[in-house]
Amino acid sequence: MSLELVSKARELADKLKAEVSAALFGEKVEGEVNKLASLGADKVYILEDPRLKYYTPVPYSKLMIQTIEEYKPQIVLYGATTEGRDLAPRVASHLKVGLTADCTDLQIGDHTQKETEYKDILYQIRPAFGGNIIATIVSPEKKPQMATVREGVMRMAVPDGSRKAETVKIKASLTTEDFISGIIERVMEEKSVNLKGAQIIVSGGMGVGSKENFALIRELAQTLGAEVGASRAAVDQGFIGKEHQVGQTGTTVRPKLYIACGISGAIQHRAGMDGSARIIAINNDPEAPIFSVAHYGIVGDLNEVIPKMIKAYKARA
């Protein structure tokens, strides 16, 4: 996630003619500097401390606040991970600045408010009102401008091994009292669904009709060697588990091929899959929004279309 953020930060900084800085806290993290530099970081603030091996709220937020107050960045970006969603609001609250969560895009532009024109501010873009609109949010009067970014929505740049970054070792003012909580044990969840790493995803929506009918989606996925995805509506109806959910409140994906079956294509869903290299949409409604992002569209009953796709693929295999 941090590599995606540095790549996007480099793009934004180039428009602002500014530097990209990264904060690197943890145990034995200095080896990550070259990786961050290769993606566009000009400067990396480092603090190595064995007590920071795992994220805990108090020391990390304290360090982040100290770093921001000392070096005064224009913009601060966080990953919308479990840790980022905990850290970002703590820092924003302390600094009394705005924070936009779960952004799907970031841009630089101008803004006029009450006859005051603000130049080169951060456009924080995300679905709003249940995914029915795309909102552009600005924080023109407070610095730094802060946002969390959904994992997978920003493309990682091609690394440039010739790039170098200046390292700045920051001074810690951490006390024993800052470590009031700690990690006793970490149990890694075993995931059987790998949407992020999938080259092909076959997703089903409300148009599939039932939990039982999802067997057809699974059959097509198995035939193609694909992962099974789903819309939020299908998950909410209990057709399939939440770990299969694609979209703003699920997983953001960029497969080589995404097949949307019976998915109407709400903004919230499209935000999580419209970066796919090729999109095929199957829907019996020719006006379904999913067709606006599809490279190939099939208007028809998925119960008739999918068996024909399976048969055709097996005949060619």
Last residue of a domain, one of 178, 212, 242: 178
- Strands, E assignment, 49-103: 75-79, 99-103
pLDDT surpasses 90 at 128 = no
Q: What is the count of structural domains for the chain?
A: 2
Q: Is the pLDDT of residue 244 over 80?
A: yes
d(CA 83, CA 53): 13
Q: Tell me whether residue 269 is annotated as binding.
A: yes
- Same domain membership, residue 272 and residue 174: no
> Do residues 59 and 170 make contact, with C-beta atoms less than 8 angstroms apart?
no
Q: Are residues 67 and 6 in the same domain?
A: yes
The answer on whether 152 is annotated among ligand-binding residues is no
> 164 with 16, same domain?
yes
Average pLDDT estimate for 184-202: 84
232 is in an annotated binding site: yes
7-46: pLDDT as tens digits: 999 999 999 999 999 999 999 998 899 999 999 999 999 9
Indicate whether 173 and 225 sit together in one domain. no
Q: Is residue 192 part of a domain?
A: no
d(C-alpha 15, C-alpha 129), whole Å: 30
CATH number at residue 256: 3.40.50.1220
- What is the pLDDT, as a whole number, of residue 192? 78
Predicted structure pTM score: 0.76
- Domain identity same for 152 and 9: yes
Q: pLDDT at residue 190 above 80?
A: no
Residue 263 marked in a binding site: yes
> Do 295 and 221 fall into the same domain?
yes
What is the Cα Rg of the chain in Å? Answer: 22
Any binding-site annotation on 265?
Answer: yes
Return the pLDDT at 131.
66
Q: Which domain holds residue 84?
A: 2-178
CA distances from 286 to 91, 133, 139, 292, 300 (A): 47, 21, 39, 10, 9
Residue with tokens 């679905």: 127
- Identify whether 185 is part of a domain: no
| pLDDT at residue 222 tops 90 | yes
Domain assignment present for residue 193? The answer is no
Query: What local confidence, expressed as pLDDT, does residue 171 receive?
Result: 86
Whether 124 has a binding-site annotation, put simply, is no
Task: Identify whether the C-beta of residue 302 lies closer than 8 Å to the C-beta of residue 261.
Answer: yes
121 beta partners: 109
- Same domain for 47 and 88: yes
Q: Is 264 annotated as a binding residue?
A: yes
Whole-number pLDDT of residue 21: 97
Q: Does 280 carry a binding-site annotation? A: no
Tens-place pLDDT, residues 153-168: 888 888 999 999 999 9
203 is in an annotated binding site: no
Q: Would the annotation count 266 as a binding residue?
A: yes
Do 21 and 154 lie in a common domain? yes
Is 246 annotated in a binding site? The answer is: yes
Task: Report whether 262 belongs to an annotated binding site.
Answer: yes
Domain boundary (147, 178, 209) is at: 178
Q: Which of 47, 23, 27, 48 is nearest to 36 (CA)?
A: 23
Cα 244–248–254 angle (5° rounding)? 65
In a domain, 38, yes or no: yes
